[in-house]
A and B are shown apart, each in its own frame.
Chain A
Amino acid sequence: MSKGVTVGNKKANLFPFSSWMVLFVLVPIALVVYYAFTDVNGFTLSNLKWIVTYRNTLWLSIELALIATVICVLLAYPIAYSMSRASARVQRNATLFIMLPMWMNFLVRTYAWMTLLEDNGLINSALRAIFGMEFPGLHLINNHGAIVLGMVYNYLPYMILPIYTSLTKIGQSLIEAARDLGANGSQVFGRVILPMSVPGIISGITMVFIPSISTFIISKILGGGKDFLIGDLIEDYFLGNSGVVNYNIGAALSLVIMVMILAATFIMNHFDKDAQTSGGGVI
C-alpha cells in the first residue's frame, strides 16, 4: 500500500546512512569473518574447531538462555493479559511501572540480587528468622539457577511489553463474537487470544533470548565466575583476562553465535511477518 513519497534526492537522503552502515556495520562484520578464517599464517579453518572444543559452553549458554526465555514467556503472559484487559489509565501506569526498574543501571540491579541471594543475604536471613532454623543446604547464588534468575529479572520487561502490545490489538468485539458463537473461556483463549498474540510472543522471545545467550556479566556476578558462558569466552579472547589475547578464536566464536541468531531470527520472521513491525518497540 505504501507507494513511497520521493522527497528530495533519494540518493542524497540515503548517502550518510549507507556510508555509515557500510563503514561501521558491514566492514566490522567482514573483519570478524576475516579474523575467524585466518591466523598468523593466513587462511585457516582451524579457528572453527574451537567451537567443537567449546561445544559444552555453547550448549550451556543455549540451555540457560532457553530456560530463561521459557520462564519469561510463562511469567509475562498473565501480566500482559491482565494489563491488556484493564482500563486505559491502568494500562498506561502499568507500562510505566514495568519499565521503571530498567532505568536503574543493570549492573547495580544485578548486584542487588547478590545482597538478596547470598548465604547471609536477605532471603536466607528472612527464612532463618521466620522458621527459626538453619538452611545449610540452601544456596541461592553462585550457581546456574542464579544466572537464569538474573536473565529473567533483567529481560522480563522485554517479554511483557511486546506480548501486551499484541494483546491490545485484539478487539473486544472479536472476543465477544467468539463467545456469541458458543466458545467457552478456554476456547476463546486457545483459539482466539493465544494465536493472535503469537507475534508478540515471538518478538519477546528474540528480545529475551538474544541478550541472554550472549551475556557475560550476569554469569560473572551471579554465577561466581565459575562457569563460562559463550559471552565470557568471547570477552576473554578479546580482552585477554586469561593471559592470552586471541582475536581469531574470539571472532570465530562470535561468528558462530551471530550466524545462529541471524538464522533463527530469519526463520522466526518467516513464520510471522508482523514481528518486523512490532520489533524494537520497547519504548
Chain B
Amino acid sequence: MKKKALALLLVALFVVSLCACGGGQANTATLNVYNWGEYIDLDTLDEFTARTGIKVNYTTYASNEEMYSKIVSGAASYDVIIPSEYMISKMIEEDLLAELDFGNIPNYQYIGEEYKGLDYDPDNKYSVPYTWGTVVIVYNTKYVDEEDVADESLELLWNEKYAGKILMFDNPRDAFALAHSRLGHSMNTTDPAEWEAAAEQLIEQKPLVQAYVMDQVFDKIIGEEAWIAPYYAGDAMSIMDDNEDIAAYVPVEGANRFFDSMCVLKSSRHKEEAEAFINFMCDTEIAEINAEEVCYAIPQVESFKLLPEEMREDTMVYPPEEVLEKCEVFINLPPETLDLQSRLWIKLKTTY
C-alpha cells in the first residue's frame, strides 16, 4: 500500500518536473560561473543572457579553498571563477588559469590604474578585478558596551564578556589572519613558531565562539542570535541595511585587504564566452548596478562615479588611505606553510 503511494508519487513528481523544465534545450553555449555566495546581483545574469544569448549556470562557493579543491579534483569544469588575490597567484603558479585575450574585454579600460599590475598578477595577464574590500568587525550596538569598542580593536573577538555571542570565520586563512594581527605578525608570515602562536590564540578563543560560519553570519547577526563577528566589508554593509543596530569598524591592528578578480580557467571550453561575461561585468552601467547590490568597493572608475553619494563616501567600503595603509594583502603561502596552516586548523577543530 505504501508502495503504491510511492509509485504514484514517482509518477507525479516525474510529470511535475517534466512540465517545470520542459523545453529550453537551445544549443547555445552555457557558461559555468563559479562565484562566492551572495556576491552578485542575480538580475545581471539574466541581462547577460538577454544581451548575448549565452546561458549562465551559476554556482557558488563559501571559501577560496573550497573552490580550489573542487577545481583541482577535476570534479567540475568551470569557466569563470572569482577568487581572491592569493588564490589567483597560486593558480597562476599551478598553470590553472588561462591568459585572457583583452581584445575581447574592451571594458577593461574602465579599471582604475591603481588596481592594475598588483602583486598577484603583475603583468595583468590572467585577471580582471571584480571588487575589493577589507575585513571588518561587525557588532550589535544594543548588546555590546561602548567602552568595549571604543578602541576599535580586535580584542573584542577575545572578550570573555561576550562568550557564546561571537562568531568566527570558518576558513583557516581568514581566521588565522585575525590571530596573526592580534599578535602583531604579518598575515603572510612563514615562520612556523608564529603560526603555532596564532593557533594558540584561536584555541584560546574557541570557548567564546558560538559557531564557525561563513555566510550564515547574515542570519545570525541580523537575527541577533550572535552579537560580534568578523566579516567582509561589503557583506557587513548589507547586514547593516537589514538591522540598524549593527555597526562595524576596521580594526586598528590592521585587517586583510582583498581583491577578488575574475579569471578564466585553462580547462574552459568557452573561453570567448567567458571573456564576454567578464567584459559584461565591467560594463559601466552593469558594474554600478552590481555594486549597489553587493555593497563592495569597485575598481571601475566610471561606475564609481555613478554610485549614490552615501556609498561613495562610506569609509567602511572605501576606507581612507591611512586605514588602508594598515591593511595587508594576502600572498600565496608556500606549500609547507599551507600544510602547517591546515594541520593547525584541524587541531583547532579537534581540541575539545
Contacts and interface: CB of A to CB of B under 8 A. Distances in A.
Task: Answer yes or no: A and B touching, Cβ < 8 Å.
Answer: yes
Interface of A: 54, 56-57, 60, 92, 96, 99, 118-120, 139, 142, 224-228, 232-233, 236, 239-245, 283
B12 interface: no
Contacts of B1: 92
A227 B349 contact: yes
B78 interface: no
Interface in B305-352: 338-339, 341-342, 345-346, 349-350, 352
B211 A241 contact: no
B34 to A, nearest CB: 15
A245 B72 contact: yes
Contacts of A232: 349
Contacts of A226: 206, 209, 211-212, 349
Contact of A243 (B173, B212, B224, B349): B173
B172 A227 contact: no
Nearest to B212: A225
B213 interface: yes
B338 A243 contact: yes
Contact of A227 (B3, B210, B352): B352
B68 interface: yes
Nearest to A121: B225
B27 interface: no
* Size bracket, chain B contacts: 20 to 34
B28 interface: no
B164 A243 contact: no
Interface in B109-151: none
Nearest to B207: A226
B25 interface: no
Contacts of B300: none
Given A227-B350, A242-B346, A139 B164 contact: yes
* Residue of A54, A60, A142, A242 with most chain B CB atoms under a 10 A cut-off: A242
Consensus secondary structure, chain A interface: loop
B349 A228 contact: yes
Interface in B257-292: none
B346 A225 contact: no
B327 to A, nearest CB: 22
A43 B164 CA distance: 46
Contact of A241 (B63, B164, B206): B63
A139 B165 CA distance: 11
Contacts of A57: 350
Contacts of A139: 164
B66 A242 contact: no
A240 B68 CA distance: 8
B68 A228 contact: no
A18 B94 CA distance: 41
B72 A243 contact: no
Contacts of A96: 2
Given A139-B164, A226-B212, A243 B352 contact: no
A233 B212 contact: no
B170 interface: yes
Q: What 7 A-B pairs come out closest when comparing CB atoms? A: A224-B211, A240-B69, A244-B342, A225-B212, A242-B342, A228-B349, A243-B342
B171 interface: yes
B17 interface: no
Contacts of A244: 338-339, 342
B345 A243 contact: yes
